Structures are given as C-alpha cells and as structure tokens.
Amino acid sequence: MSTPPRAKAGRPPQIGREAIITASVQVIDADGLDALTMRRIGAELEVTAMSLYRYLPGRAAVLAAVVNRLVVEVRFEVDPQAPWTDALRRFALGYRRMLLAHPRAVPLLATHPVDPTIGHAMTAPALARLRAAGIPDQDGLAAVQSVGCFLTGQALAQVGAPPGVRRPPAHAGAECYEHWFTIGLEAMLGGFQQQLTGR
C-alpha cells in the first residue's frame, strides 16, 4: 500500500521491510520472543538497530508485521463434496499446523490482532463453503470465530508458556493435547452442525 523506500538515487538499500520480517521470524523460532530485540534483528541482517527504523516505525510494528506474515502462510483446502463442517475442520487443522510450526510465536499470535483484510482472506474458503450450504454469513462468521478462538486457546495451553517460564512438571505431553484438541474441535463441530443444520 504505502510506497516502499525506493533507490531513486544514492546507495541501494542493504535491507528492506520483508527482510526484517523474515529475520524476525527466524529469531523468534530459534530463540523466542524475548530474544527479538531491535539490536538482534539488526545483527541478523548485519546492520545496526537504528537502520530498522527506516522501514518499520518501531518494535511494535515489527511484531504486527510478524503476525501478519505468519497468518498469511496458513493454507487449507476445502473439499466441496464433503459436509460443510469439514470445511471448518480443515480450516482448524491448517491454522493449527501453522501455530505448531512456530510454537514460540503462539503467545504473540494469540495476543496481537490480525489485519482484518488478511484475517478475512484466511477464512474466506471456509466461509464460502458454509454459504454454499445455505448457512447465513452471520452464523458462519460466528462459527469460524469460535473455532479460531478454541484453536488459539488450545495452542496456548500446549506451547504458550511465555519465554522465561518453566512449565509445571505435571504438564501434559503433546499427545495429550493432540487428543484434547480433537475432542474439543469435534464437539464444537458437532454442536454447530446441530445448531445450524437442525440436528
């Protein structure tokens, strides 16, 4: 949307907005959210922290950009033959795949709002399938929202302990959370099917 800094004259840029975001995701994946300092991002790009401010107005902007970068990488395919609840299931699995691929970013994703345009684009295929099944957009949106909230909360419980916090020793293993995830998701899907398609 806004014009990126162009080299009409003078030196070509050593870095850029996209490179900053990519480096930030790498740092988070490798060392967690706390390690994502402006100085560290700069070091990753062999540049000082101050140069970053040419491309993003501050650390908060970096975090917001990371959230949107991760959300756009969510992918899932809707099977038009399958019942409409399957579209919600596939949305859930696709979103969850992204979350578990970036466990240290989950607290960030959970607490930062997603750009509405990007959020809408992500859920569009699922919503379209519900619409094709005769479900009003208002109800479809509520269902997608609810599934999304459950996903976020579930991923947080599984991997969401913040950077410095030790997980309690009685903490359940990954298999357990996988099981709870399926149980909860299927309950919600079954409930929506009952609610929206009248038993």
Partner DNA sequence: ACCTGAACACCGTTCAAGT
Instruction: Tell me which residues touch its own copies (CB under 8 A).
Output: 60, 64, 107, 110-113, 115-116, 139, 142-143, 145-146, 148-154, 156-157, 160-162, 164-165, 167-168, 170-171, 179-180, 183-184, 186-192, 194-195
Q: Which does 115 bind (CB under 5 to 8 A by kind): DNA, its own copies, none?
A: its own copies
Per DSSP, the three-state class of 100 is: helix
Q: How far is the CB of 7 from its own copies (least distance, A)?
A: 31
Among candidate residues 138, 150, 128, the one with its CA nearest the CA of residue 80: 128
Q: How far is the CB of 6 from its own copies (least distance, A)?
A: 28
**The dihedral sign for the CA sequence 43, 47, 51, 57:** negative
Q: Which does 179 bind (CB under 5 to 8 A by kind): DNA, its own copies, none?
A: its own copies
Cβ closest to its own copies, residue 4 vs residue 58? 58
Q: Which does 15 bind (CB under 5 to 8 A by kind): its own copies, DNA, none?
A: DNA
Q: How far is the CB of 184 from its own copies (least distance, A)?
A: 3
Q: In whole angstroms, what is the distance from residue 50 CA to residue 41 CA?
A: 10
Q: How far is the CB of 114 from its own copies (least distance, A)?
A: 9
Q: Which does 131 bind (CB under 5 to 8 A by kind): its own copies, DNA, none?
A: none
Q: How far is the CB of 128 from its own copies (least distance, A)?
A: 20
What are the residues whose beta carbons fall under 8 Å from the beta carbon of 15, sequence distance 6 or more? 45, 47, 51, 52, 55
Report which DSSP code applies to 102.
S
Query: Taking the CA atoms of the chain, what radius of gyration do you get in angstroms?
Result: 20
What are the residues whose beta carbons fall under 8 Å from the beta carbon of 104, sequence distance 6 or more? 28, 29, 31, 32, 33, 159, 163
Q: In whole angstroms, what is the distance from residue 9 CA to residue 155 CA?
A: 47
Interface with DNA by CB under 7 A: which residues?
Answer: 5-15, 36-40, 42, 47-51, 53-54, 58-60
Q: Which does 178 bind (CB under 5 to 8 A by kind): DNA, its own copies, none?
A: none
Cβ closest to its own copies, residue 5 vs residue 190? 190
